[in-house]
């Protein structure tokens, strides 16, 4: 059943209805086959872009939708409720565009942002390395200045849209000064020396391509560096605060779909002469699932409203990511349990929801890292 939402404006309410319409017509009919065949849904991203849904949190002057983050995240949740991999992709695209908006010069923003936000281009985010996931300051990928260019050499692991994207936001080391020696670059796909490894064979999100990106002396003009040398890690971390809210919204969308499926099944399936939802033991499980979904939604919306008000929200973003993804894991697991043996088969999407949710406790910073961020912020306060 549709989520009841309190949207801040009539325009934002219309955006939710537009998103639901696209989800019903374009996403839900296609998700099962795409997941089964590991088919990357590039056409879906173009559809979302042409509808104005890929650039919602960015200003209109750069081709965005000028919507507050609380609206953008609820759109992402609606998309993810229909197709988790696409919801993740929308969040990753917004994260990939963030560095240019946050640290780029006015000339850079006017030159590149409209194309990135208009729907024809799709972004990827290159931060993690095989040995440097939760510790990005340990990265080894290096960018060496050579005249008017930088030459980038190294590899980036776990790149969502790896090999499919049109541009890559890349963090690379420009000096040996630890976390202060990292810079940020906007690298176009097709640049000589840039290639993708074999896509990862994952547990879930089968239609979302994840691959290692290989930088073999990739030459990038210096004008494609975002911000000053050494500013790359602050750019990455600032983007991750917002990216964590995107994943919180995605996880909440998947959990909502799992809850809806479980409730429908519990109303239709009968044991001992009555629907199983009438049995208190199972009804209480459903009640806990509903409480988990709604608390996750409230938590990410609180963090988003702080961001929209220009207040610090880093701790709240980590809390939202932690709560929403842990809750989603529990809700999707319970959905499989409610369906019983049927939940363990591919006849119902419950097993897919469960597989998709697991990685949400891992990417954009593991939930153990979120606890570290939260506790450190408490120590400083």
DSSP letters for 266-315:
HHH-EETTEEGGGSHHHHHHHHHHHHHHHHHHHHHHHHHHHHHTT---HH
Give the active site residues: 364
- Rounded to two decimals, the pTM is 0.96
Q: Residue 164 CA to chain centroid, in angstroms?
A: 16
CATH of 123-231, one of 2.60.40.4070, 3.90.320.10, 2.40.110.10, 2.60.120.430: 2.40.110.10
Return the pLDDT at 119: 80
**Dist CA 259 CA 253 (whole Å):** 10
CATH of 10-117, one of 1.10.357.10, 3.40.30.10, 1.10.540.10, 1.10.3720.10: 1.10.540.10
Percent of the chain with pLDDT over 90: 92
User: Closest by alpha carbon to 48, among 120, 124, 123, 125?
Assistant: 120
Domains of the chain, residue spans = 10-117, 123-231, 234-380
**Dist CA 289 CA 259 (whole Å):** 7
> For the segment 258-304, what is each residue's pLDDT rounded down to a tens digit?
999 999 999 999 888 899 899 999 999 999 999 999 999 999 999 99
Q: pLDDT 10s per residue in the chain (381 long)?
A: 789 999 999 999 999 999 999 999 999 999 999 999 999 999 999 999 999 999 999 999 999 999 999 999 999 999 999 999 999 999 999 999 999 999 999 999 999 999 999 888 999 999 999 887 678 888 999 999 999 999 999 999 999 999 999 999 999 999 999 889 999 999 999 999 999 999 999 999 999 999 999 999 999 999 999 999 999 999 998 888 999 999 999 999 999 999 999 999 999 998 888 998 999 999 999 999 999 999 999 999 999 999 999 999 999 999 999 999 999 999 999 999 999 999 999 999 999 999 999 999 999 899 999 999 999 999 998
User: Closest by alpha carbon to 97, among 76, 79, 121, 69?
Assistant: 121
Relative orientation angle of helices 84-103 and 106-117, to the nearest 10 degrees = 160
CATH for the stretch 234-380:
1.20.140.10
């Amino acid at each position: 059943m549709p989520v009841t939402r309190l949207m801040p404006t009539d325009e934002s309410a219309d955006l939710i209805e537009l998103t639901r319409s696209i989800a019903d017509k374009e996403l839900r009919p296609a998700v099962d086959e795409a997941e089964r065949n590991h088919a990357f849904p590039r056409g879906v991203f173009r559809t979302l872009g042409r509808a104005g849904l890929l650039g919602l949190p960015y200003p209109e002057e750069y081709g965005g939708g000028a919507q507050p983050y609380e609206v953008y995240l609820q759109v992402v949740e609606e998309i993810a409720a229909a197709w988790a991999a696409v919801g993740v992709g929308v969040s990753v695209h917004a994260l990939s565009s963030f560095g240019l908006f946050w640290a780029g010069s006015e000339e850079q923003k006017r030159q590149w942002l409209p194309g990135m936000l208009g729907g024809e281009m799709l972004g990827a985010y290159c931060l993690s390395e095989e040995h440097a996931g939760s510790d990005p300051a340990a990265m080894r990928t290096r960018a060496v200045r050579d005249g008017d260019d930088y030459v980038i050499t190294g590899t980036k692991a776990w790149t969502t849209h790896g090999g499919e994207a049109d541009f890559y936001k890349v963090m690379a080391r420009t000096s040996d000064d630890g976390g202060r020696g990292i810079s940020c670059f906007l690298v176009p796909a097709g640049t000589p020396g840039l290639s993708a490894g074999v896509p990862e064979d994952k547990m879930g999100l089968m239609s979302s391509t994840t691959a290692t990106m290989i930088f073999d002396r990739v030459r990038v003009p210096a004008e494609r560096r975002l911000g000053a040398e050494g500013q790359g890690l602050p750019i990455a971390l600032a983007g991750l605060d917002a990216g964590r809210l995107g994943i919180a919204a995605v996880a909440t969308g998947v959990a909502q779909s799992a809850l809806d499926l479980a409730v429908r099944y519990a109303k239709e399936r009968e044991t001992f002469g009555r629907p199983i939802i009438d049995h208190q033991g199972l009804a209480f499980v459903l009640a806990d699932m509903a409480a988990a979904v709604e608390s996750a939604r409230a938590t990410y919306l609180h963090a988003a409203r702080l961001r929209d008000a220009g207040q610090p929200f880093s701790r709240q973003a980590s809390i939202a990511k932690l709560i929403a993804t842990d809750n989603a894991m529990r809700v999707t697991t319970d959905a499989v349990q409610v369906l019983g043996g049927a939940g363990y088969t591919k006849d119902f999407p419950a097993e897919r929801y469960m597989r998709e949710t697991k990685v949400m406790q891992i990417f954009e910073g593991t939930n153990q890292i979120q606890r570290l961020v939260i506790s450190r912020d408490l120590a400083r306060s």
